[in-house]
Amino acid sequence: MKNVPKNPVLDQIPTSLMTALDEKKRELRAAGKRLFDFGLGDPKEPTPPFLREALRAAVPDVSQYPSSTGPLALRRACAGFLERRFGVRVDPEKQVVPATGAKETIFHLTLAFTGGDPRRTKVLMPDPGYPTYEVGARFAGLEPVKVPVTVGRSFLLEPEEVGDEVLSRTLVFWLSYPHNPTGAMAPRAYLERVGRAALRHGFVVASDECYADLYFGDRPLSMLEVQVENVVAIHSCSKRSGMTGYRSGFLAGDPDLVAVLKRARSHPGVASPDFVSAAAAAAWSDDAHAAERREVFRHKRDRFLAFFREAGLRCEGSDATLYLWVRVPAGHTSTSWALALLEEGIVVTPGTAFGAGEGHVRVALVPTLSECDEAIAAWRRVQS
């Protein structure tokens, strides 16, 4: 077709800065260059064997559609995880909805609430932040309000800084702690401030907690520990359990909000296949494998933090998640330094890929521990 119909939102979404880097990566690989990829947050550690076995054992002889709400066994496992990990009790029938990964959940969430109050047209989100917050808001016909978060403010999106006028027109307020891309954490007092603002102004707090089990000091909190009313929290098997390709997660929280999300979810799709849900139920029922994975990432992180200190590079935030938020050296932009590192086979993501991240790159601790050691040796050549 010459005149292809197109949703205008597609032109409002920034083109990924990773496109140029991807082309350069292809050129280097074609030339035989070995790459150490710290770009996409997709760790290379194997999925724990007991989870792979749980999936295989659940593959049926006859394949049938899964339900949109997922098996009760999975919802009970999710509820059990929330109680063990955060001390939060939820009803698996009324307060938990499984989903095919966090990204799909984040994208569709605003659609479920759009139009319920025509005055509420704004979606607040941290900047820099996970790009799908903005994309989901735009496709829902809402106005994304990207609020700068800085190291000086501990990367916290403070509601009082936004102002009452904006908050009164806000539909969804995105939290992201531990924060992607900076790895910053949120203290209880901050979560309480957000919770009070949500009750006062009547907006939904959507708390992205996908990295809650990847921490190296104090335990990250769930927004649900502070407040359930007006709150939904999103969790994923991807990073916690090494199940990025399985596409399984869940959201839980305020039963009235969950009821709306459950109704909405039945239209665009269904839950993950039941055999994936069986593996997910096993994952949410076990904490030992998550602790073992956390220690692997701790070792990677320790290696890089020691190298960054040695090289005079400043790492900000980086208290949790599998990401390090690194300030670029003098004379570089985020993109120019990413390209300079790429010449030595080091793939990082420019901070601007996440919005207001100029002056930083994100290092995702994806390669294996031995590969990280080799990558640090290559990185030293860039710094020398």
Residue ranges per domain, the chain? Answer: 9-46+289-383, 59-286
Q: What is the pTM of this model?
A: 0.94
Which residues have C-beta within 8 Å of that of residue 382, sequence separation ≥ 6? 340, 341, 343, 344, 346
Chain centroid, CA 263 distance in Å: 24
Please write the tens of the pLDDT for every residue from 157-175.
999 999 999 999 999 999 9
* Beta-strand relationship, 170-176 and 122-127: parallel
What is the predicted pLDDT for the residue at 382?
A: 75
How many residues would you count in the chain? 384
**CA atoms of 374 and 376, how far apart (whole Å):** 5
Topology of the domain comprising 59-286:
Aspartate Aminotransferase; domain 2 (3.40.640)
User: What pLDDT is stored for residue 16 in this prediction?
Assistant: 59
**Residue 321, burial from CB neighbour count under 10 angstroms (0-12, 13-18, 19+):** buried
According to the model, what pLDDT value does residue 19 have? 64
CATH of domain 9-46+289-383: 3.90.1150.10
Mean pLDDT, the chain, rounded, equals 93
- Angle 255-265/102-113 helices, nearest 10 degrees? 100
Say whether pLDDT at 379 is over 80. yes
Q: How many helices (H) and strands (E) does the chain have?
A: 16, 13
Question: Looking at residue 41, what is its pLDDT?
Answer: 85
86 CB-near residues (< 8 Å, 6+ apart) = 221, 222, 224, 225
pLDDT at 194 exceeding the cut of 60: yes
Whether the predicted pLDDT of 47 surpasses 90: yes
User: Strands 249-253, 231-236: parallel, antiparallel or unpaired by DSSP?
Assistant: antiparallel
